[in-house]
Amino acid sequence: MRHQSDRLGLAFLTPALIFVVLFFLSPVVLTAVFSFTTMSTATGISGGTYRITPSAVRSAAEKGLNPATAERLSQERYTIDDDALTRATKAGIDAEILKELERDLKGKSTDDRRSFERLLKKLDNRPNRRQVKSISPHFRTSILNQSFEDRTTLDATLENLGLDAAERARVAETSYTGWIWTSANFRRMFLQPDTYRILINTIVYVFTTLVIFNTGYAMVLAIVTFYLPGRQATVYRTIWFLPRITPPVIYVLLWKWLAWDTGFISTITGWFGVASRNWMLDTSLNAWVFVVLINGFVGASMGMIIFSSAIKTIPESLFHASAVDGAYRWQQVRHIILPQLRWPILFLTTYQTLSLLSSFELIFLATNGGPGSATEVWSLAAFHLALSNYAGNLQYGLGAAFALILVLIGITASLFYLRLFKFSEMISKPRIEH
């Protein structure tokens, strides 16, 4: 019987487990994997090839490749010889064209593709454009700008050209276009001067928004609405809920209208002779005030609802009894309401810390981290690095390393809160049942 109920429990849990694996564990694992790679726009995600570009040869030469070999590798050459003619014949190139090439141009070389193709275009059996393009690869006798799908093919080709193992390794290293495993992302992150700035920004942002709005102001709203008559309280709560239900883009646009040079604040202050300015981006302090307000107004509504529900669960008799004893409102708040709210405060603090740490969409829309990276927080930095920047240089590896640190900070913060609020005591079984 017990065995069956265990299985039933597992069955009930399965959808949740699948969700956790798909939408939590796998992104975290992938982030961790990405963070130990050099993945970027240029390396691609799916792997690379070995391409012998002039730059690759130059950097191999800097790393000790014999200068004569480097010189040889960096030359382009197209030659009409027996080998090439045989290759072309095998590939099914028009025999008449090849015959003419052999008869008139055998032994001739050019040092770039364009000149070689010009030769082809002068033949009596003039090949058309598509034929020209299909003929030339067979006559290429250099490997410059050629791609090799794997190391074995590259090695074989380089060996034919007389490169020894050490030289081959150098060329392979500098010509590989894909990503490689590395721990350099973390080193870069810690050495980068801006990282500390971003860290401090994040701490300031999370702490200020959390304390002032998401818990503090939410508590004030919950208590005030608790003492308000029913209908007024509902209206008040609804108004405070608007920021949360307004689509973020529109919500932030309203703030921008309020703040920018020709916006509401500038118009009003203009009547008093204050020069118009972009109030949101005027100084870093301004930007921070707006960032905290924009996020805080959204965050406060959630806290308000949770605290309000928690206060409603407090038996009314306690309030009546305290009123009979002559308690003021403040004393009721201090001695009845607050002690009952420890659990919701723990939940909200933990939840909102994680939420503030990882959500950046409102900052992205409002200041995009500006002015001058003043409001660039950790998650926004990860987003900018990995997925969105003006130059289109998406550094998946470094961005993932930033994101991974965020995961670690989140887990650490949660554990800290659980200890701070003595979570284990709260969930321990009531002694009365023992």
Partner 1 sequence: MNTKLLSRFLGIAAAIVFALPAAQAAEMTIVVWSGGTGVNSNYRVDAIEIAADLYQREQAILGNDITIKVEKEIYSDWEPFKQAFTLAAEANTAPHIAVTGHEDIAPWATAGLIRPIEDFVDLDAWPLNDIYDNLIEIASYEGVVYAIPQDAESRPFFFWIDYLKEIGYSDADIAGLPAKVAAGEYTLYDVLDDAKKIQDKGLVEPGYGFYPRVSNGPDYWQFYQSFGGVMQDPESRKLVLDKGAMTRTYQFFVDAVAMGVTRKNHIGTPWDQWYSEVASGKAGLWHGGTWHYNRYTTREGLEGFFDKIQFSLIPSGGDGGRANTVTHPLVYVLTNQGDDEVAEVAAQLIKIASEPRINSLHAIKSAHLAISKQQSNIELYSGDRWAREATTRLLPNANAMPNHTDFGEYWTVMWKGLESAWTGQKTPEQAVGDVATELGNSLGDAIIIR
In three-state secondary structure terms, 51 is strand
Nearer to partner 1 (CB atom), residue 141 or residue 414:
141
Nearer to partner 1 (CB atom), residue 182 or residue 340:
182
How many CB atoms within 10 Å of residue 175? 25
Q: Which of 303, 306, 257, 311 is nearest to 280 (CA)?
A: 257
Q: What pairs with residue 110 in β-bridges?
A: 78
Cis bond upstream, residue 371 (ω within 30): yes
Nearer to partner 1 (CB atom), residue 120 or residue 336:
120
Q: 78-79 and 50-51 as β-strands: parallel, antiparallel, unpaired?
A: unpaired
Report the distance separating Cα 243 and Cα 260, nearest Å: 19
Angle, vertex CA 322, rays to CA 321 and CA 325, nearest 5: 90
Greatest Cα pair distance, the chain, in angstroms, is: 118
Nearer to partner 1 (CB atom), residue 177 or residue 269:
177
Considering the complex, what minimum distance in angstroms separates the CB of residue 418 from partner 1?
Answer: 37
Nearer to partner 1 (CB atom), residue 249 or residue 387:
387
Q: 109-110 and 78-79 as β-strands: parallel, antiparallel, unpaired?
A: antiparallel
Nearer to partner 1 (CB atom), residue 129 or residue 434:
129
Considering the complex, what minimum distance in angstroms separates the CB of residue 163 from partner 1?
Answer: 20
Considering the complex, what minimum distance in angstroms separates the CB of residue 366 from partner 1?
Answer: 10
H or E element that contains 110:
strand 109-110
Footprint on this chain of partner 1 (rule: CB under 8 A): 40-46, 48-49, 51, 53-55, 58-59, 62, 76, 113-114, 117-118, 121, 129-130, 132-133, 144-145, 177, 187-188, 191-194, 260-262, 275, 277-278, 281-284, 367-368, 370-374, 387-395, 398
Considering the complex, what minimum distance in angstroms separates the CB of residue 3 from partner 1?
Answer: 45
Tokens representing 246 are: 């307004």
Q: Which of 54, 69, 34, 71 is nearest to 174 (CA)?
A: 54
Considering the complex, what minimum distance in angstroms separates the CB of residue 4 from partner 1?
Answer: 44
Nearer to partner 1 (CB atom), residue 281 or residue 310:
281
Considering the complex, what minimum distance in angstroms separates the CB of residue 183 from partner 1?
Answer: 13
Report H helices in 122-272. 129-135, 151-160, 165-175, 184-191, 193-208, 218-227, 230-245, 248-259, 264-271
Residue 50: φ, ψ to 5° = -105, 115
Considering the complex, what minimum distance in angstroms separates the CB of residue 387 from partner 1?
Answer: 6
Nearer to partner 1 (CB atom), residue 319 or residue 396:
396
Considering the complex, what minimum distance in angstroms separates the CB of residue 393 from partner 1?
Answer: 3
